[in-house]
């Protein structure tokens, strides 16, 4: 009985830190966003050195409660002109989910009612895409699979049960499996999408933090994010 109790406690600990057995538990990239003021490179503390480029309008080295993070000053998310200087970009094919279990975890705070926090690909991108956005202040995780011609293979998304644009810090984890998307909010609230095949996701676009990388605010909105981000972590299954 004692062994069973120890095993149960261990499984609970793994789930709490986002390392569920058989799930997305291998770190692909970890951006701590702890660079000083005026940094132009976002360093990757993960195993692959996937550093990113920081746009000139993104404020780095912003202090909050003794740690540092990035700040995106307020802007209307859909007002022209396009502002690519608000983006952080990481170009690396290893950030594609493929068919693996895959997760994105973000610690952020915002008072904005909309904006795309992070994404790789967009809209009708051949190969599909994924994103984390905050429509109506509620975090939304979306994973979409498309073939090389842009035809839909499958998609699943899930929205937070409550608004998170209250100016407080929140940690949101979005995990994709073969047929479901699960969101964990602040380590306790868990919501799941309906089940159904999603399909592989792989595109040639960079991972973009703070909005879309291909937009003009005329025919395609950029959906710029306003707020703070403390860190971002990407994980995938070892398979």
Buried b / exposed e along 78-87 (16+ C-beta atoms within 10 A): eeeebbbebb
Domain ranges of the chain: 22-236
The pLDDT of 206-218, averaged and rounded, is: 97
Q: Which of the following CATH numbers is that of domain 22-236: 3.90.180.10, 2.60.120.200, 2.60.40.10, 1.10.287.1080?
A: 2.60.120.200
Q: By percentage, how much of the chain surpasses pLDDT 70?
A: 90
In this prediction, residue 16 carries a pLDDT of: 38
The pLDDT of 89-106, averaged and rounded, is: 98
Longest CA–CA separation in the chain, Å: 64
Q: Considering the entire predicted model, what is its pTM?
A: 0.89
- Measure the CA–CA gap between 167 and 121, rounded to whole angstroms: 28
Interval 60-71: pLDDT, tens: 999 987 789 999
In this prediction, residue 239 carries a pLDDT of: 66
The pLDDT of 76-93, averaged and rounded, is: 97
């Amino acid at each position: 009985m004692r062994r069973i109790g120890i095993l149960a406690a261990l499984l609970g600990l793994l789930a709490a830190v986002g390392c569920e057995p058989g799930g997305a538990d291998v770190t692909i990239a970890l951006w701590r966003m702890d660079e000083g003021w005026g940094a132009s490179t976002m360093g990757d503390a993960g195993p692959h050195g996937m550093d990113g480029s920081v746009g000139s309008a993104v404020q780095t080295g912003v202090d909050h409660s003794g740690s540092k993070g990035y700040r995106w000053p307020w802007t209307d998310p859909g007002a022209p002109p396009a502002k690519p200087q608000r983006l952080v970009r990481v170009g690396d094919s290893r950030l594609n989910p493929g068919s693996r279990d895959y997760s994105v975890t973000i610690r952020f705070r915002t008072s904005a009612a909309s904006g795309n926090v992070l994404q790789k690909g967009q809209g009708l991108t051949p190969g599909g895409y994924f994103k984390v956005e905050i429509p109506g202040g509620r975090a939304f995780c979306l994973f979409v699979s498309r073939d090389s011609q842009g035809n839909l293979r499958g998609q699943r998304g899930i929205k937070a049960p409550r608004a998170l644009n209250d100016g407080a810090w929140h940690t949101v984890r979005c995990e994709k499996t073969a047929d479901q998307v699960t969101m964990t909010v602040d380590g306790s609230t868990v919501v799941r999408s309906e089940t159904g095949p999603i399909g592989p996701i792989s595109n040639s676009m960079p991972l973009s933090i703070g909005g879309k990388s291909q937009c003009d605010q005329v025919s395609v909105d950029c959906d710029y994010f306003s707020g703070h981000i403390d860190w971002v972590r990407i994980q995938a299954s070892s398979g």
